[in-house]
């Protein structure tokens, strides 16, 4: 059987006419991100449970008829662990399609697995072992082989088979509203758009630096993000994290001092040296700011954190949910620090009802 690969407008419009009759669509994407900042969409797989096909975004065709279907609020979009797919869709239209049904979250809510992968879910529910040998395919290469297309379309074909099962089981468990809430949170577009001023959050070694060094490092991360976005190149191609840390610690004032750090390739030094010095100088003169800090809990706070963790573990066991799904450690740390004012997922929606209120009584 040959997998349908749609590469022209007429065929896509005909497929969309069929898919428009369905109240839901299963979706998946294949992309590459090797030498670019943004993921490059290479394939978009669609199934309505009756037909399935791969749409070729690299072909000269208008994707808007399909995007109109995907973004129609009357149609449920079924995806598995859709973070990267949503990042691509946000870039195409500026926001996420809703309503969304994430089969990974659904599986977690049903006790099937904690962040279970697609292959694992299909094996558990259908007894089908998927061949993952083609997962490293260069999806930008054309033509794609039939085996590669079949592998790609299987991701939506099997998903269409188990979608109704998962939905019915969630309804029986009284957890469809929980899924809807979590999926709505997944659709907040800001989490798929990195603001340059927030790029410091990617610097994992920031907490070990003093406030002045953190201020300079944050300014350099901001500059790197803007440059990477403007040139559509990976961050590390613009500036490595280690280079940011060294420049923030040493704060060079001249090209000679910057070169002496030996953290920049010659081409980067030649192209960006003066601008980097200006960023360092400006941040060095600005008011310093503490962006990140080590946990540094005292004995009482550590004991409080342990109490919260024990409570979450007990509630999670009762609900047959992973404790980290109910409340991540970072949520509990925030509770210890800020109490009811904490910006914590466990204090919102269904998690607050089943666990958050009890946690607040402990802090």
Taking each helix axis from N to C end, the angle separating 241-250 and 266-285, rounded to the nearest 10 degrees, works out to 50
The Cα angle at residue 209 between residues 208 and 210, in degrees rounded to 5: 130
Asked if 211 and 13 touch (Cβ cutoff 8 Å), the reply is no
Q: Which residues are CB-contacts of 237 (< 8 A; sequence separation ≥ 6)?
A: 35, 228
β-pair type (40-47, 52-55): antiparallel
- Taking CA atoms, 56 is separated from 11, 41, 227, 254, in Å, by 11, 9, 30, 50
CA distance 176 to 293: 38
Give the predicted TM-score (pTM) of the model: 0.91
pLDDT in tens, the chain (363 residues): 567 899 999 999 999 999 999 999 999 999 999 999 999 999 999 999 999 999 999 999 999 999 999 999 999 999 999 999 999 999 999 999 999 999 999 999 999 989 999 999 999 999 999 888 888 899 999 999 999 999 999 999 999 999 999 999 999 999 999 999 999 999 999 999 889 999 999 999 899 999 999 999 999 999 999 999 999 999 999 999 999 999 999 999 999 999 999 999 999 999 999 999 999 999 999 999 999 987 778 889 999 999 999 999 999 999 999 999 999 999 999 999 999 999 899 999 999 999 999 999 998
């Amino acid at each position: 059987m040959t997998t349908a690969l749609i590469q022209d407008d007429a065929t896509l419009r005909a497929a969309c006419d069929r898919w428009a009759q369905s109240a839901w669509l299963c979706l998946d994407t294949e992309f590459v991100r090797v030498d670019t900042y943004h993921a490059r969409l290479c394939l978009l797989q669609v199934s309505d449970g009756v037909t399935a096909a791969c749409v070729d975004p690299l072909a000269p065709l208008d994707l808007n008829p399909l995007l109109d279907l995907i973004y129609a609020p009357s149609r449920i979009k079924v995806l598995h662990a859709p973070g990267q797919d949503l990042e691509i869709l946000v870039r195409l239209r500026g926001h996420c399609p809703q309503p969304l049904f994430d089969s990974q979250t659904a599986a977690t809510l049903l006790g099937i697995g904690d962040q279970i992968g697609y292959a694992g879910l299909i094996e558990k529910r259908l007894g089908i072992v998927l061949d993952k040998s083609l997962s490293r395919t260069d999806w930008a290469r054309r033509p794609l082989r039939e085996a590669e297309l079949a592998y790609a379309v299987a991701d939506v074909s099997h998903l269409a088979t188990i979608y109704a099962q998962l939905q019915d089981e969630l309804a029986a468990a009284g957890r469809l509203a929980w899924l809807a809430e979590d999926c709505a949170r997944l659709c907040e577009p800001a989490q798929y758009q990195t603001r340059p001023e927030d790029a410091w959050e990617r610097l994992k070694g920031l907490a070990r630096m003093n406030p002045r060094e953190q201020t300079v490092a944050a300014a350099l991360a901001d500059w790197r993000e803007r440059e990477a976005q403007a040139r559509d190149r990976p961050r590390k191609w613009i500036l490595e994290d280690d280079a940011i840390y060294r420049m923030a610690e040493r704060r060079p004032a001249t090209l000679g001092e910057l070169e002496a750090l030996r953290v920049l390739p010659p081409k980067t030094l030649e192209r960006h040296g003066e601008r980097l010095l200006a960023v360092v100088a400006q941040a060095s003169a600005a008011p310093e700011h503490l962006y990140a800090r080590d946990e540094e809990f005292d004995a009482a706070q550590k004991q409080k954190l342990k109490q919260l963790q024990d409570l979450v573990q007990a509630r999670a066991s009762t609900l047959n949910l992973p404790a980290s799904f109910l409340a991540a450690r970072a949520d509990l740390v925030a509770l210890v620090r800020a109490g009811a004012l904490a910006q914590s997922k466990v204090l919102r929606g269904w998690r607050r009802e089943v666990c958050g209120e009890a946690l607040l009584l402990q802090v």
